[in-house]
Amino acid sequence: MNARERADAWDREHRPECLADVPVHIKDDLVEGHVEPDRPPGQRAEAEPATAAAAAAAPRILVNFDASPHGGHWRPLPDSGGEPPITMRTVIHHSIVGSAEGAYQYFAGSTAIESHFIVKKNGYFWQCMSLGEQADANFRANDFAGSIETEDNGHPDTDPWTSAQIDTLVWLSLEMRRLRPRIARRKCRTWTDAGLGYHTLFPQWTNVPGKTCPGAIRKRQWASTVLPRFLTGSVEEDDDMTSEQARQLEAVYKALIVPGTISPEQTVNLMFERIRAIEDAMIVPGTTTAEEAFNILFARVRRIESLLEDLTTGLQQTGQAEPAE
């Protein structure tokens, strides 16, 4: 049994819901002998032969590859042109758990899953499905969501997106919105909402318990960098910051994260929860708020201080009144 047959057999047995559920070795075995070079701007792949399915499909919608920050080209999957039409209103970001080529080769087999895009670590990307057709990688959101897969080292929880990948993620998300105007410029508020999200944002987008796609560290990047740049339409980062300032900012960001949280936002929420718990503990009989309890406490402290002052003064006066021997 060769690598393709092993992958197809594994797929039939497990029916993965997205590429992150497929073991790395299954995808890596498919890479051997397949090389897809990055292409200079303006150079296109050869058009695939027309098929009856493609002729009957919705019009092909491709991004403007020449405008992308790190390049890309059309690399259609065998399913391209044969999937149901889609009215796209949502963009969902994923991680491959493996290499870009392994992902493409797995999608190209007799599998029920696909993705609209695959982004390599150098920022170069392939568009694999038209934006006018469905690509199944999002569980119950397949009929309205577009998907972007991103390459990693097999451990996306600890392998961050490169700056080039973030550039391409932001650009692709904005480009998809340009071509599919129903995509809203906001974070999705519900699983059916128009906007931007990542795969494990809602359980209706993935049915695998414990999954972290696109990865723990990448979700932090998504919240701190990808989403803000999408909301502002900023394809390029503000480069006024020096490398030392960037290092200091990263150190501050990490220092704000305490055990049990994964972001400064969660840390702040936890801090306020603890403050409220302290306030509740400080409320004493006869008071209704922590402020009243503090006032009583300080009044008592001041009373004790006053008594001590009176006692000290009295002792001093008594000592001065004693006759000399």
For residue 198, the domain's CATH number is 3.40.80.10
Residue 49 is predicted with a pLDDT of 47
Query: How far is the CA of 269 from the CAs of 7, 183, 260, 265, in angstroms?
Result: 44, 30, 12, 6
In a domain, 252, yes or no: no
- Examine the domain organization and report whether 268 and 150 are in the same domain: no
**Tokens standing for 226?**
């990808």
- Examine the domain organization and report whether 289 and 175 are in the same domain: no
- Examine the domain organization and report whether 168 and 265 are in the same domain: no
- Examine the domain organization and report whether 188 and 288 are in the same domain: no
Q: Is the pLDDT of residue 218 over 70?
A: yes
In a domain, 253, yes or no: no
Closest CA to 167 of 130, 199, 123, 113: 123
Residue 52 is predicted with a pLDDT of 47
Residue 157 is predicted with a pLDDT of 95
Cα R_g (the chain), whole angstroms: 30
Integer Cα distance of 237 and 76 in angstroms = 30
Closest CA to 257 of 239, 244, 274, 270: 270
- Examine the domain organization and report whether 89 and 189 are in the same domain: yes
Closest CA to 35 of 81, 80, 99: 99
Closest CA to 215 of 231, 198, 227, 194: 198
Q: 213-227 burial, b for 16+ CB within 10 Å, e for fewer?
A: bbbebbbbbbbebbb
- Examine the domain organization and report whether 203 and 165 are in the same domain: yes
In a domain, 323, yes or no: no
Integer Cα distance of 167 and 237 in angstroms = 8
In a domain, 165, yes or no: yes
For residues 75-79, give the mean pLDDT: 94
For residues 240-269, give the mean pLDDT: 62
Does 203 sit behind a cis peptide bond, omega within 30 degrees of 0 on the bond before it?
Answer: no
Task: Note whether 198 and 212 are within 8 A (CB).
Answer: no
Helix (H, G, I), strand (E, B) or coil at 91: strand
Q: Check the CA dihedral 307-310-316-318 and report its sign.
A: negative
- Examine the domain organization and report whether 93 and 173 are in the same domain: yes
Task: Note whether 221 and 227 are within 8 A (CB).
Answer: no
Integer Cα distance of 139 and 137 in angstroms = 6
Residue showing tokens 């060769």: 2
- Examine the domain organization and report whether 60 and 117 are in the same domain: yes
- Examine the domain organization and report whether 175 and 71 are in the same domain: yes
pLDDT 10s digits, 228-250: 999 998 776 544 556 666 566 66
pLDDT 10s digits, 86-134: 999 999 999 999 999 999 999 998 788 999 999 999 999 999 999 999 9
How many independent structural domains does the chain possess?
2
In a domain, 244, yes or no: no
Closest CA to 227 of 152, 149, 175, 174: 174
From the centroid of its chain, how far is CA 103?
19
Integer Cα distance of 212 and 36 in angstroms = 29
Residue showing tokens 């190209």: 108
- Examine the domain organization and report whether 153 and 221 are in the same domain: yes
- Examine the domain organization and report whether 42 and 111 are in the same domain: yes
From the centroid of its chain, how far is CA 196?
10
Residue 106 is predicted with a pLDDT of 94
In a domain, 284, yes or no: yes
- Cβ neighbors of 124 (< 8 A, separation 6 or more) are 38, 70, 71, 72, 168
- Examine the domain organization and report whether 178 and 130 are in the same domain: yes
In a domain, 168, yes or no: yes
| Range with lowest mean pLDDT among 23-37, 118-132, 217-231, 264-278 | 264-278
Q: If you write DSSP's letter for every residue of 137-148 in order, what string do you get?
A: -SGGGTTTEEEE
Closest CA to 262 of 220, 199, 221, 218: 220
Integer Cα distance of 170 and 235 in angstroms = 6
Range of the domain at 281: 258-317
Helix (H, G, I), strand (E, B) or coil at 196: strand
